[in-house]
Amino acid sequence: MNIDLLGPWGQFALVVLAIVVVSQLVHRLMLPVVRRLAGYSTLFRAIISRCDRPMQWLVPLIAIQVALQGLPEDLRGLSSVQHLTSVLIICATSWTLIGVLQGLADGVIALHPATVSDNLSARRVHTQTRVLSRIASTGVLIAGFAFVLMTFPRARQFGASLLASAGVAGLVVGLAARSVFSNLLAGLHIALAQPIRIDDAVTIEGEFGNVEEITATYVVVKIWDERRMIVPLGWFTDHPFQNWTRQGSNLLGSVLLWVDYSLPVEAVRAEAKRLCEASALWDKRVCSVAVTDANDRAMQVRVLVSASNSGANFDLRCELREKLIAFVQREFPQTLPRLRAELSRSPSASPG
């Protein structure tokens, strides 16, 4: 078959087909080599994993754009094809850049595992990485959309006319999107100052849970009963809340017992120490017993214990409470809380 009979567009279609086939063959041949080289670097491996699919589009599109330069400038429809290719290249480039950002985030998170017992530093890195990568990805997406619009002449004219009336339009848009921008700024504040981090134990509006996810505009808090609380980022900068793991995951917890005055506190202290040492939940830091209150009926004995995290602390407190109550019932049943009353005869009462 004579190639000249196909015309410029027919010849160009063959060139495009050859570019796609060659690029896919090169990709299949080079990918195992690149992955083997990337095996020595966690960051590089994560980036390659995220950029594999967009690079399959970006490389042939660039080659096609270069091949378009060889066509005659007066060829009908050439400008439209070049414009379409440019738009696709911008989209593929934005996709690749977002993949690089996400790959960097995945690599940094993999280098700082949060599965260790003392994961404060890892959770700090996870929070900064995830929030900043999502903000940067949003910025790349917006920039890519802006570059696509700039390729359309009418869109550029529209942008110029919009800038001419930016006073009123900017005021309206600013008021309408105030909450959105405030949440984005709050996201930067949380990423840098870190009042909360991923997996922090927090109490918000009377609900206790762990920070499960931090997005660019809101935070997902996993409540202890498997519910999810969705909280806007701006809320954390405007309202007080409790962060149980701000400086570390280790926590103190108390077990309160109301008992009679006749209970020997030393026996309870020895039993609490024995129970703590026998429990795998105790982190061997604090185990103390003290009388913290008393009234006209009973005294309050507080057992203060420590654990490596909030979940272990709660389970340890429940375990000690149950076993100490059983200990008092077994060894000193007469010291359980009781109501005393003194009965006396009336002076005017006559004997039977």
Question: At 276, which CATH number?
Answer: 3.30.70.100
At residue 320, does pLDDT exceed 50? yes
Query: If 0-12 CB within 10 Å is exposed, 13-18 middle and 19+ buried, where does residue 4 land?
Result: exposed
Same domain, 107 and 15: yes
186 closest CA partner among 218, 230, 234 = 234
C-alpha 262, offset from chain centre? 52
Q: Express each pLDDT in 136-150 by its tens digit.
A: 888 888 888 888 877
Same domain, 200 and 211: yes
Is 100 contained in some domain? yes
Higher pLDDT among residues 177 and 233, named by residue: 233
- Domain that includes residue 315, residue range: 251-335
Q: Tell me how far apart the alpha carbons of residues 324 and 275 are, in angstroms, rounded to a whole number.
A: 9
The pLDDT confidence band at residue 112, using thresholds 50, 70 and 90, is confident
Is 299 contained in some domain? yes
Average pLDDT of 235-263?
Answer: 84
Is 340 contained in some domain? no
The pLDDT confidence band at residue 57, using thresholds 50, 70 and 90, is confident
Average pLDDT of 65-69?
Answer: 82
Same domain, 222 and 255: no
The pLDDT confidence band at residue 69, using thresholds 50, 70 and 90, is confident
Same domain, 106 and 7: yes
First to last CA, the chain: 136
Average pLDDT of 323-342?
Answer: 84
Same domain, 94 and 22: yes
Q: Tell me how far apart the alpha carbons of residues 64 and 331 are, in angstroms, rounded to a whole number.
A: 87
Pairing status of strand 228-232 against strand 242-243: unpaired
At residue 347, does pLDDT exceed 80? no
At residue 265, does pLDDT exceed 90? yes
Is 240 contained in some domain? yes
Same domain, 220 and 282: no
Same domain, 244 and 286: no
Selection from 23-27, 302-306, 311-315 with the highest mean pLDDT: 302-306
pLDDT for position 2 = 47
Is 75 contained in some domain? yes
Is 66 contained in some domain? yes
Same domain, 173 and 235: yes
HEC string of the chain equals CCHHHHHHHHHHHHHHHHHHHHHHHHHHHHHHHHHHHHCCCHHHHHHHHHHHHHHHHHHHHHHHHHHHCCCCCCCCCHHHHHHHHHHHHHHHHHHHHHHHHHHHHHHHHHHCCCCCCCCHHHHHHHHHHHHHHHHHHHHHHHHHHHHHHHCCHHHHHHHHHHHHCHHHHHHHHHHHCHHHHHHHHHHHHHHHHCCCCCCCEEEECCEEEEEEEECCCEEEEEECCCCEEEEEHHHHHHCCCEECCCCCCCEEEEEEEEECCCCCHHHHHHHHHHHHHHCCCEEEEEEEEEEEEECCCCEEEEEEEEECCHHHHHHHHHHHHHHHHHHHHHHCHHHCCCCCCCCCCCCCCCCC
Query: Domain end: 210, 231, 248, which one?
Result: 248
**What Rg value do the Cα atoms of the chain yield, rounded?**
34
Higher pLDDT among residues 287 and 37, named by residue: 287
Same domain, 243 and 224: yes
Question: In this structure, is the dihedral angle defined by the CA atoms of residues 276, 277, 280 and 285, taken in order, positive or negative?
Answer: positive
Same domain, 86 and 156: no
Mean pLDDT of the chain: 81
Query: If 0-12 CB within 10 Å is exposed, 13-18 middle and 19+ buried, where does residue 246 land?
Result: middle
At residue 79, does pLDDT exceed 70? yes
Average pLDDT of 259-280?
Answer: 93
Query: Domain end: 111, 142, 173, which one?
Result: 111
Is 281 contained in some domain? yes
At residue 45, does pLDDT exceed 80? yes
At residue 250, does pLDDT exceed 80? no
Q: Tell me how far apart the alpha carbons of residues 194 and 124 are, in angstroms, rounded to a whole number.
A: 7
The CATH number of the domain where 167 resides is what? Answer: 2.30.30.60
Selection from 186-190, 223-227, 323-327 with the highest mean pLDDT: 323-327
Q: Tell me how far apart the alpha carbons of residues 118 and 251 are, in angstroms, rounded to a whole number.
A: 12
pLDDT for position 6 = 56
Number of domains in the chain: 3
At residue 29, does pLDDT exceed 80? yes
Higher pLDDT among residues 303 and 70, named by residue: 303
pLDDT for position 180 = 58
pLDDT for position 168 = 46
> How many residues does the structure list for the chain?
352
Cβ neighbours for 260, distance < 8 A, ≥ 6 positions apart: 298, 299, 334, 335, 336, 337, 338
pLDDT for position 326 = 94
CA dihedral 118, 120, 122, 128 (to 10 degrees): 170
Is 347 contained in some domain? no
At residue 73, does pLDDT exceed 70? yes
Same domain, 238 and 256: no
At 218, give phi and psi (nearest 5°).
Answer: -150, 165
Same domain, 10 and 104: yes
